[in-house]
Amino acid sequence: MFCFILKLKYLNIFRKEKKLVVLAGTLVIALALTACSTVAPVCATSNPVGSKVGEASTKTILNILIPFKQDSGIQAAAANGGISKISTVDTRIDWNVISTTITTVVTGE
């Protein structure tokens, strides 16, 4: 009888631990699917806003820069958009738990 009672207590503890594991797994999956994006102005000039848009990005994984040729500077963004007269410069940051992408957006003519 005593062994039967111990076995029931053990099974009850195992069920509680299983619920905690399932809850923790659900939270990890929810965090992995969470994403955030923000845009911030960097500067503006007196040049008129043109129709051209150029972007340059840098991507990190687990906040470690990938060691490839990545240039998210203003000159690279202007060159990618064929812009010679810069009007505005914005920075967009797209974040999720695994990776972050920093993009410089340049508008002008």
DSSP annotation of 88: E
Beta strands 64-65 and 35-44 are unpaired
Q: Do 60 and 27 fall into the same domain?
A: no
Is pTM, for the whole model, over 0.85? Answer: no
Query: Which structural domain, as residue segments, surrounds residue 82?
Result: 36-108
What is the average per-residue pLDDT within 8-30? Answer: 73
**CA nearest to 61, candidates 52, 74, 51, 70:** 70
Q: Do 52 and 99 fall into the same domain?
A: yes
Beta strands 86-96 and 35-44 are antiparallel
Q: Please tell me the distance from the alpha carbon of residue 60 to that of residue 98, in angstroms, as a whole number.
A: 9
Structure confidence at residue 13 as a pLDDT band (50, 70, 90): low
Q: Do 27 and 12 fall into the same domain?
A: yes
Q: Do 50 and 97 fall into the same domain?
A: yes
Q: Do 103 and 74 fall into the same domain?
A: yes
Domain count, the chain: 2
Q: What is the pLDDT of residues 74-102, one digit of tens each?
A: 999 999 999 999 999 999 999 887 888 99
Q: What is the pLDDT of residues 27-67, one digit of tens each?
A: 888 877 778 899 999 999 999 888 999 999 998 888 777 76
Q: Do 40 and 25 fall into the same domain?
A: no
Predicted pLDDT at 6 = 52
Q: Do 4 and 28 fall into the same domain?
A: yes
